[in-house]
């Protein structure tokens, strides 16, 4: 079947992606409860989610849509992200190899052992599906937020959502009508991100320039931005990512997705 594809000008594409914002404050009902999306908008967004690319036809992802107020409150607590409560829609985006194993089982076949591959392609599929979801939402006039804070409460999230082995929370994702004017965020200069034919490590001067470009993203109130300081909080010695590492390893082992040594 031939499908006619709507085309856009380069300027229109640039403008669309320049309009992207990470938004954590959403319009709600007067009592603070979520403002639901129109049914046709939600249907279009979920359709877009499932049209994401996937490796080997497997669709190694699942999204858990969080609707019950008490469950939203619990997810907000576990992720330390309060806006899960007020967003129009909230999801936990998961890498999921369980479904493929079930297909093989029901078909009378045996699944192989490939936990590292499961993580590699499962996270890739989950990211592509979630990105489709967010892009479709933005096409309809909404904004959203990826939430890496699932790493703050992986064990609780796995338990609360009843996730079987083979299913690993990757991120949460919220969408809704913005109730804030979020700033435009800078990005690392292109030569350090888009490489041609071989990897370009970047000179010290290029790295310093990138830090200067990115410093505004770390500004807080009247305090000037310091991107290297912000990265140190996350990725430096004793930072947040080191503290999260044991929890992720434990979750990978619990979900049968650990390929490392014991």
Q: What is the pLDDT of residue 224?
A: 80
pLDDT (mean) for 50-63: 97
Question: Would the pLDDT of 223 be above 90?
Answer: no
Instruction: Give pLDDT, residue 256.
Output: 96
- Give me the mean pLDDT over the 131-138 stretch: 98
Residues 2-45 pLDDT 10s: 676 889 999 999 999 999 999 999 999 999 999 999 999 999 99
Share of the chain above pLDDT 70, in %: 99
Domains along the sequence of the chain with CATH: 19-182 (3.40.109.10)
pLDDT confidence of residue 84: 98
| Better-scored residue on pLDDT, 239 or 262 | 239
Q: What is the mean pLDDT of the chain?
A: 96
Report if pTM > 0.85: yes
Q: Is the pLDDT of residue 1 over 70?
A: no
State the average pLDDT over residues 192-213: 97
Q: Give the pLDDT confidence of 60-103 residue by residue, as tens digits.
A: 999 999 999 999 999 999 999 999 999 999 999 999 999 999 99
Q: Which residues contact 96 (CB under 8 A, 6 or more apart)?
A: 60, 61, 62, 122, 126, 166, 167, 168
- Looking at the chain, the whole-number percentage of residues with pLDDT higher than 90 is 94
């Amino acid at each position: 079947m031939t499908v006619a594809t709507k085309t856009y000008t380069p300027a229109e594409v640039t403008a669309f992606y320049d309009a992207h914002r990470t938004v954590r404050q959403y319009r709600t009902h007067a009592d603070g409860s979520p403002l639901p999306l129109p049914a046709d908008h939600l249907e279009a967004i979920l359709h877009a989610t499932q049209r994401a690319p996937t490796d080997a036809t497997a669709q190694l992802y699942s999204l858990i849509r969080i609707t019950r107020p008490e469950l939203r409150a619990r997810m907000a607590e576990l992720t330390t992200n309060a806006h899960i409560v007020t967003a129009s829609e909230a999801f936990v985006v998961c890498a999921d190899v369980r479904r493929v194993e079930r297909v093989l089982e029901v078909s009378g076949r045996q699944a192989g052992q490939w936990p590292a591959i499961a993580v590699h392609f499962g996270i890739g599929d989950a990211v592509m599906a979630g990105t489709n979801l967010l892009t479709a939402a933005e096409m309809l006039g909404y904004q959203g937020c990826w939430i890496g804070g699932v790493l703050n409460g992986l064990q609780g999230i796995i338990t609360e959502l009843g996730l079987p082995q083979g299913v690993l929370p990757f991120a949460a994702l919220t969408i809704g009508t913005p109730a804030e004017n979020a700033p435009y965020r800078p990005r690392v200069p292109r030569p350090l991100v888009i490489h041609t034919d071989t990897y370009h490590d970047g000179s010290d001067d290029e790295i310093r320039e990138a830090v200067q470009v990115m410093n505004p993203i770390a500004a807080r109130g009247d305090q000037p931005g310091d991107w290297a300081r912000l990265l140190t909080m996350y990725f430096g010695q004793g930072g947040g990512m080191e503290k999260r590492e044991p929890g992720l390893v434990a979750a990978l082992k619990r979900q049968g997705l650990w390929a490392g040594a014991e």
